[in-house]
């Protein structure tokens, strides 16, 4: 039996009013769970920005290249790349990484589909448990 999982973190935060692209990117990445309290240097965000630039240039980046561009250690890059792989945001091919979707709207559509599927499965099991425990409808 193969265990297959995807992790999605969605954080509802107040939308920004101005249209500064950098603030929009920070808001976007925070909203889809790329930030954490432990990530003091905003490493995951910096890696995401490099992957976004590579997407625009139609390139794939090695972990060494990402480390060089972000001024992070390769270990830090690999740690965050693994988190992005777990969230189904990044592809790996020939030891090079790229964003899985051609645009951020496509990424959001995919995340939404994964979340809806997960909730459908959770609801199905909840109903089964309710029936087994004879809980009220």
How far is the C-alpha of 27 from the C-alpha of 95, rounded, in Å?
A: 29
Q: What are phi and psi of 97, to 5 degrees?
A: -115, 150
Q: What is the pLDDT of residue 40?
A: 78
C-alpha span between 22 and 11 (Å, rounded):
18
The pLDDT value given to residue 4: 52
Q: Which residue has the higher pLDDT, 3 or 117?
A: 117
pLDDT of residue 2: 44
How far is 87 from 31, CA to CA, in rounded Å?
A: 13
Give the contacts of 32 (CB within 8 A, at least 6 positions apart). Answer: 8, 9, 10, 11, 87, 89, 107, 108, 111
CB 48 within 8 A of CB 87: no
- What value does the mean pLDDT take over residues 39-56? 93
Q: How confident is the model at residue 131 (pLDDT cuts 50, 70, 90)?
A: very high
Q: What is the pTM of this model?
A: 0.82
Residue 91 has pLDDT above 60, yes or no: yes
Confidence band for 7, pLDDT divided at 50, 70 and 90: confident
Q: What confidence tens digit (pLDDT) does each residue in 53-84 have?
A: 999 999 999 999 999 999 999 999 999 999 89
13-to-2, 27, 37, 50, 99 alpha-carbon distances in Å: 35, 8, 15, 24, 24
Domain 21-100: give its CATH code: 1.10.10.10
Q: Please provide the average confidence, as pLDDT, over all residues in the chain.
A: 89
Domain positions in the chain: 21-100, 102-137
pLDDT in tens, 11-28: 888 887 777 898 899 889
């Amino acid at each position: 039996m193969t265990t297959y999982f995807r992790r999605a973190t969605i954080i509802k935060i107040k939308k920004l009013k101005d249209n500064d692209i950098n603030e929009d990117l920070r808001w976007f990445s925070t909203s889809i769970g790329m930030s954490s309290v432990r990530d003091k240097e905003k490493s995951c965000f910096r890696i995401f920005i490099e992957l976004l630039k590579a997407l625009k240039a139609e390139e794939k980046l090695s972990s060494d290249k990402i480390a060089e561009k972000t001024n992070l250690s390769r270990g830090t890059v690999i740690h965050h790349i693994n988190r992005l792989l777990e969230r189904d945001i990044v592809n790996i091919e020939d030891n090079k990484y790229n964003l899985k979707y051609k645009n951020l709207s496509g990424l959001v559509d995919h995340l939404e589909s994964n979340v809806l599927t997960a909730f459908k499965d959770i609801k199905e099991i909840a109903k089964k448990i309710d029936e087994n425990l004879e809980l009220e409808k």
